[in-house]
Structure 1
Amino acid sequence: MPEPIRVSPSTPSQTNRAGTYTVKPGDTLSTIAKNQLGDSSRWPEIMSLNKGILSAPEKLGAGMVLSLPAGTGHPAQVAQTTRPAQTPASPQVQQPTTPPVRPNSVDGFDRVVSLTFDDGPHPVNTPRVLEILKQHDVKATFFVTGQAALKYPDLIKRIVAEGHAIGNHTFTHADLSKLSPDQAKAEFDKTQAAIDKALGQHYEISMVRPPYGAGGKTTRAAMGPNQHMVLWNVDSNDWRYRNDDAKIMANIFEGSESVHARGGVILFHDIHPQTVRILDDVLSKLQKGGFDIQRTDATIGRKNPVII
């Protein structure tokens, strides 16, 4: 991406003219929508109106001149910038009859996302994932299996020591929809015991993720009273595209199922080398795009249909 043009806050070029806004350093589409339109969730309207110069939210740079939806802005700004003082008041411009579809998770999360890693720990790839997360000062959530926790207790210790959260992904990566509630509970309980053994003390697991997203009645019956089931908003499908890193990146950042459209919880697997290969680019792109990356447990309480 070209180096964004740096614009001093005091330069005249930042003064709005009719229906436009010049991007300042630190702006995001959400903050522009909030400050100029009065509603942060209207950022897709700005995106749509400027698709000729802005192909993706992370391409936003200081100095860009964006068109704004007609008939918007704070009342004082509209009066000063859209009507010459010597002319009669213009009739109010009508809004489009069909508003653009708004994302159901970016709006609720205020561009807060969380990275989750399933199926580990893995003796080779999990340490590499942890190192990349450390380089970006990002905390994530690892949904581990009990079997892997027993095999690699030092990695369980490292995950916790470096400030990440651990979630329960069952002991054998079982499809809980095919088990009884008691069998499903045993899967969770054995994983809890494996994590406690690895750490040498009890670790309170507040999040579970059923393998294959099998979050039906059996899973809910097997969960503890203070636990949350965490599914995902965005699926990287890293496991599927072992030799196509570009496709994994596209799954995350492009289209109607991307982080820009859905936000929230992103699903990865820390057992695959392709996940390691793309992770640095993913984190750089999220951070440059103005996303706030948090541990999943820090987002519990926000409105998100995939956290139950």
Structure 2
Amino acid sequence: MKLLKKTTCITMLFNFFMTSTLLPVYAADTNELNWYYMAKGKGNVAEQPKESADFLKDCAGYYVGDTTQKVIYLTFDEGYENGNTGKILDILKEVEVPAAFFVTKPYIDSQPDLIKRMVNEGHIVGNHSVHHPSMASIHDKEKFKAEFTGVEEAYKNLIGSDMPKYFRPPMGKYSKQSLEMTKELGYKTIFWSFAYKDWLVNSQPSESYAIEKITNGGHPGCIMLLHAVSITNTNVLKTVIESLKADGYVFKSLDYLDNSNETEAEAQAKFNYAPQKILAQQYTTINQ
């Protein structure tokens, strides 16, 4: 009996030692996580969450692009239209900056003319799901897939071509499983390394605050998230773009995420995404 107790005690101590000191601790694949980043000051690359550091890249997840160059990838989330997107497109056209607009199915259904304009003017229209749920909460593969295909079908019915395979997780909620399932559908998951509290339409930041916050948030390889519902963002957009350009930054499309040195022709060959001049001819009938 004493020998049995001694053996059991040794076994328990061994198991505790192994799990607490030698084996790494990972979040369960289905645990819901919230995206965040750790800012490192103006011009310094933000740090990604430790919770997903071991699997983000393998799951085709991105929060930065090429951090060896002063390049910024500008993105907008479009949950609903607040009357600003047309003005934002005007500014982007004037300053010749490409962007990605992540849209839901209701947005496509309610704003077809804006979607056509985004495409015609050379911007990416990315997938932001049908119902804007936490993708980490959906474990059934068919239900998960439906959040993507519903948007894809609405886009193709409107534009006539396949939707670019970029996905922005609603509310920044994800899990290892959701990223893996997104990758299986052929998508890259696009997080961000800069964002700020700009989405509360009745509590907008001041323009001076926004200019300082956004320009200080830029860094090499920055994926910048702004919300198009923000009137402040709309009013300061030209100023912050010109300021960042003056600081040596170049704005590039998400199509250049994996290789910022890639030529335009090479990017077009890889993605079903045409530049403005081609699109103006290709979609003439759509705008009539």
Bin for the TM-score computed over the shorter chain? 0.5 to 0.7
Question: Which residue is 1:232 aligned to?
Answer: 192
Name which of 123, 131, 153 aligns with 1:193. 153
2:166 maps to 1:207: yes
Looking at both structures, which has the greater relative contact order when contacts are Cα pairs under 8 Å and sequence separation is at least 6? 2
Structure 1 counterpart of 2:147, which letter? E
2:55 maps to 1:132: no
1:238 to partner: Cα distance: 1.8
Change in Cα spacing, 1:107 to 1:190, as seen in structure 2 (3 Å) is: closer
Question: Which residue is 1:251 aligned to?
Answer: 213
Name which of 96, 100, 106 aligns with 1:147. 106
Structure 1 counterpart of 2:157, which letter? K
Could you give the per-residue CA deviations for residues 259-307 of structure 1, whole angstroms, max 9, x where no partner exists?
A: 13x64200011122222112111111111111010011222346xxxxx
- Residues 232 and 264 in structure 1, CA contact (< 8 A), matched pair in contact too: yes
RMSD after superposition: 2.6
Structure 2 counterpart of 1:213, which letter? G
- Residues 77 and 226 in structure 2, CA contact (< 8 A), matched pair in contact too: yes
Structure 2 counterpart of 1:177, which letter? A
Name which of 253, 273, 283 aligns with 2:231. 273
SS in 2 for 1:235: coil
- Residues 78 and 103 in structure 2, CA contact (< 8 A), matched pair in contact too: yes
Larger radius of gyration: 1
1:223 to partner: Cα distance: 4.3
Structure 2 counterpart of 1:212, which letter? M
Change in Cα spacing, 1:109 to 1:130, as seen in structure 2 (3 Å) is: farther
Could you give the per-residue CA deviations for residues 178-198 of structure 1, whole angstroms, max 9, x where no partner exists?
A: 222432221111011111122
SS in 2 for 1:266: strand
SS in 1 for 2:116: helix
Structure 1 counterpart of 2:77, which letter? D
1:219 to partner: Cα distance: 4.1
Question: Which residue is 1:167 aligned to?
Answer: 126
TM-score, with length taken from structure 1: 0.59
2:119 maps to 1:157: no
1:244 to partner: Cα distance: 2.1
Change in Cα spacing, 1:225 to 1:300, as seen in structure 2 (3 Å) is: farther
SS in 2 for 1:203: coil
Structure 2 counterpart of 1:252, which letter? I
Question: Which residue is 2:32 aligned to?
Answer: none
1:165 to partner: Cα distance: 0.7
1:174 to partner: Cα distance: 1.5
2:240 maps to 1:282: yes
SS in 2 for 1:108: coil
2:75 maps to 1:116: yes
Change in Cα spacing, 1:209 to 1:141, as seen in structure 2 (3 Å) is: same
Change in Cα spacing, 1:280 to 1:143, as seen in structure 2 (3 Å) is: same
- Residues 125 and 163 in structure 2, CA contact (< 8 A), matched pair in contact too: no
Change in Cα spacing, 1:123 to 1:239, as seen in structure 2 (3 Å) is: closer
- Paired residue total: 200
TM-score, with length taken from structure 2: 0.62
Cα distance in 2, alignment partners of residues 128 and 106 from structure 1:
27
Could you give the per-residue CA deviations for residues 36-92 of structure 1, whole angstroms, max 9, x where no partner exists?
A: xxxxxxxxxxxxxxxxxxxx77xxxxxxxxxxxxxxxxxxxxxxxxxxxxxxxxxxx
Question: Which residue is 1:83 aligned to?
Answer: none
SS in 2 for 1:124: coil
Structure 2 counterpart of 1:149, which letter? I
Cα distance in 2, alignment partners of residues 277 and 235 from structure 1:
17
- Residues 126 and 163 in structure 2, CA contact (< 8 A), matched pair in contact too: no
2:254 maps to 1:292: no
Identity %: 28
2:207 maps to 1:264: no
